[in-house]
């Protein structure tokens, strides 16, 4: 099954209040295996970046000033995500901004039925624990050392690894799922697809000299335990 793990960065918390999406990062997975394909883009929000938001993701007005508008990249984004389920952490937030941007440029909103929320999964699996992306990376041993500030593509890459752990762990890739295509479009190797040479069966029978040495060794054992159970029938009867 094809899934898209994604994350967004924004100018604030409320698309209805005028906040805009300024970055999106999407990671393609097939059979819960990353394929190497991704979509990543920054957007000019056509509004000033609040200092509070810039402190979170580091995207300044100057940096975003020459970036495309969302409408310029909407078709490319929609083509990439296709009809796959969309996985995000606190997914209602990201869906809210994604659909707001789509509606602003006259596109159909993405159905909420496609939403997979890893925050809900984490709360169900680990009730009472911390469920931030940082906390989940720590719990599952996902390296987040490069996450100095929030970034949509980096966070989507981290979330993809967390999602694997939340839905079965690394064992799902041990030949139990269909092979995912690589970045070049070719299937990744699995236990079924690897072309290994056929080897002749190895001999398992003992050589005659080995049998002779074994019998000589056994004959030297005094009062062996197995004689109590495997003595000749006549001896057992006499006993």
> Is 4 buried (19+), middle (13-18) or exposed (0-12) by CB count in 10 A?
buried
Asked if 149 and 58 count as a contact pair (C-beta separation under 8 A), the reply is: yes
Asked if 147 and 155 count as a contact pair (C-beta separation under 8 A), the reply is: yes
User: Which two structure tokens, joined as six digits, stand for 233?
Assistant: 């029938």
For residue 38, indicate whether it is catalytic.
no
Q: What torsion do the CA atoms of 128, 131, 135, 141 make, to the nearest 10 degrees?
A: 90
Please give the DSSP secondary-structure letter assigned to residue 3: E
Report angle CA 20, 25, 30 to the nearest 5 degrees.
Answer: 140
- Selected catalytic residue, list 89, 131, 150, 204: 150
Asked if 26 and 73 count as a contact pair (C-beta separation under 8 A), the reply is: no
Reduced to 3 states, what is the DSSP secondary structure of residue 223? coil
Reduced to 3 states, what is the DSSP secondary structure of residue 93? helix
Catalytic site positions: 150
């Amino acid at each position: 099954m094809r899934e898209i793990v994604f994350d967004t960065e924004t100018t604030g918390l409320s698309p209805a209040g005028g906040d805009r999406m300024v970055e999106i990062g999407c990671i393609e997975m097939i059979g819960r295996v990353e394929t190497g394909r991704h979509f990543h883009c920054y957007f000019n929000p056509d509004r000033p970046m609040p200092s509070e938001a810039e402190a979170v993701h580091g995207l300044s007005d100057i940096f975003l000033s020459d970036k495309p508008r969302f409408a310029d990249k909407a078709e490319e984004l929609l083509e990439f995500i296709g009809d796959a389920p969309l996985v995000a952490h606190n997914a209602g937030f990201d869906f809210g901004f994604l659909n707001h941007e789509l509606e602003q440029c006259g596109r159909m909103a993405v159905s909420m039925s496609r939403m997979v929320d890893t925050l809900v999964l984490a709360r169900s699996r680990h009730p009472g624990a911390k469920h931030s992306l940082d906390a989940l990376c720590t719990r599952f041993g996902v390296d987040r050392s490069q996450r100095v500030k929030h970034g949509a593509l980096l966070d989507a890459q981290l979330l993809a690894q967390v999602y694997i752990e939340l839905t079965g762990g690394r064992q799902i890739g041990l030949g139990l799922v269909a092979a995912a295509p690589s970045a070049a479009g070719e299937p990744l190797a699995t236990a079924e697809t690897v072309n290994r040479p056929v080897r002749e069966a190895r001999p398992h029978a003992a050589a005659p000299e080995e049998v002779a040495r074994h019998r000589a060794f056994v004959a030297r054992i005094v009062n062996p335990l197995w004689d109590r159970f495997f003595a000749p029938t006549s001896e057992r009867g006499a006993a």
